[in-house]
Amino acid sequence: MDNPHVLVVRSEASARVPVYAHDDDAGADLAIVEDVTLAPGERRVVGTGIQLAIPAGFAGFVYPRSGLAARCGLSMVNSPGVIDAGYRGEIRICLLNTDRHDPIHLSAGDLVAQMVIQPVAHVVFTPTHQLPDSGRGAGGYGSSGGVAAWRTA
């Protein structure tokens, strides 16, 4: 399969083009272009200084970086953030400090998120009065188990 080409414009001189840290990584790292301090519980939209032209039939999905999440509680409010193929504005990330006690200090150039480009399908939604049966049925949150405290004797 040929790799799709994504055009990148740096709208800020210091902006970094997304880059894969390793050849087999799914996500390309995204850097911010401003210094920011997030107080405990604070969220802020922070710019990357880049604009993308994602090809039709694809979308970008922006996720938190696991190391920052584990080390200092940095996350994203809307994870994953979706970048539609038609969007041409600056990629901005809605960061959240989930730590209850300590602020998070970030500097311009810090890698704070990762973006996965994936194919997406446009489906046809067809109204109906009844859905076909499935093995799962209407089982929702927690219905597949997996947490010992949810199990009943």
Tens place of pLDDT per residue across the chain (153 aa): 688 999 999 999 999 999 999 999 999 999 999 999 999 999 999 999 999 999 999 999 999 999 999 999 999 999 999 999 999 999 999 999 999 999 999 999 999 999 999 999 999 999 999 999 998 888 777 777 777 766 654
Close Cβ partners of 144 (under 8 Å, ≥ 6 residues apart): 136
pLDDT on residue 53:
98
pLDDT at position 151: 61
Give me the pLDDT at residue 113, please.
97
Reading phi first (left if > 0) and then psi (alpha if -120 to 50, else beta), residue 150 is in: alpha
Q: E strand or H helix at 70, and its extent? A: helix 66-72
Residues 106/32, Cβ–Cβ less than 8 Å: yes
Distance between CA atoms of 91 and 99, rounded to whole angstroms? 25
Rounded-to-integer distance, Cα 87 and Cα 37, Å: 28
Distance CA 102, CA 40 (A): 6
73 half-sphere exposure, CB direction, 13 A CA radius? 16
Cα distances from 87 to residues 51, 76, 83, 139, 143, in angstroms, run: 9, 20, 7, 36, 37
